[in-house]
Structure 1
Amino acid sequence: MNAILTGQVFYSYQHELLKRDSFADLRAHFSGIAPFHKHEGEIALSDEKIFISGDENLQIPLTSIDQIYLGFDEAFPRTLVKNMGLFWQPLRLSLSNGNILYLIVDYNVLGANNQLWFNELKELLSA
C-alpha cells in the first residue's frame, strides 16, 4: 500500500453518537480530555481505500463512500467540541452499507487535520 496520508484517529459510528448520555456532552468541555469517540487507532489513506487499525480493523474502499461532509450535524453537534468547533469540525463518511462514520484525525488541543483529509478525499473521489 502506498499511503497518501497517515495519522491517528478517533472515530464513532452515528448510532454510537446518538446513544451518548448528557455526561458525554459535558465531558467534552474539560481540558485534557479527547473529544467524544468510541474507537481509536491509526488511519491511512491510499488511492483506493481508507485503512483503520486499532480496536477495530477497517478497510473502506473509496468506491463505498457515498458522501463526505466536514461539519456538525444532529448526531455530532458543536456542543461535543471545546470552543464550539472554532478550531476543527468532524469529518463524516456516509458509506454504501448504511454506516456513517465520524472521524477526528490527528487531534490535539489546537485542532485536528480533518480539513486536510476532507480535501484529499474530495480530490480522490472526484477523479
Structure 2
Amino acid sequence: MPIQKTSTYLIYQEDFQQRTLTDRLKLSMRLMQLEPIHRYLGELRLYDDILEFEGKDTETGEPHLLLCSGAQIKRVFLGFDGFFTNLEDFSAGFTFKPLRLTIVNGNHTLTPYFITNFNKIMRTSDNEKWATKIEQWAK
C-alpha cells in the first residue's frame, strides 16, 4: 500500500527538447482545456522503497510506468528552468511550480517534471508538499 498517492501530470525534459510545431499547437489546445503542459497523465505513488508513476501517454494512449528508488534520486527541485519555463502556463508561474527530479540509473539520467493534484480552476498543485516528502524519503 502506498504511503502517499495523487493524480499527476508528467512530462520529461526530452519531451521539451523533441517538440515540433505540431506539438506546440497541441499544447495550445491543452492550455485552452486548462491543463498544464504534459505528455503523460496518471498517478504518482510513494511506497517505502519505491517512487512510482503509472499512467498513459496522452499522445499514443500507451501505458507508461516510471519506477525509481530513493538512491536513484540525485536532486529534487521545485521551480521552472530553461526547459519548463514559466511561459509554458497561463499562470506564468504565479500559482504553481513544476516538481523536477534528477534520476540516475547507471549511465542514464532522466529528468521528469511532475504536476501533482492539479486544480484546473485555481491552477495550483501539491508540488511543494510532494517535493518535501520525496526529499525526506530519498535520504
Residue 106 of structure 1 is aligned with which of 117, 120, 123?
117
- The C-alpha deviation readout for 1:72-109, integer Å capped at 9, x for no partner, is 00010000122211111000010113111111111112
Instruction: Find out whether 1:81 has 2:81 as its counterpart.
Output: no
- The aligned residue for residue 27 of structure 1 is 28
- The aligned residue for residue 3 of structure 1 is 2
Residue 100 of structure 1 aligns with an amino acid whose one-letter code is T
User: What is the Cα deviation at residue 48 of structure 1?
Assistant: 1.7
- TM-score between the two structures when normalised by the length of structure 1: 0.87
SS in 2 for 1:27: helix
Instruction: Supply the distance in 1 between the matched residues of 2:27 and 2:114 (Cα, whole angstroms).
Output: 20
- Runs of 4+ aligned residues of structure 1 deviating over 4 Å after TM superposition are 28-31
Instruction: Find out whether 1:45 has 2:17 as its counterpart.
Output: no
- TM-score between the two structures when normalised by the length of structure 2: 0.80
Percent identity of the aligned residues? 23
Instruction: Structure 2 unaligned segments of length 5 or more: list them.
Output: 57-63
Instruction: Structure 1 unaligned segments of length 5 or more: list them.
Output: none
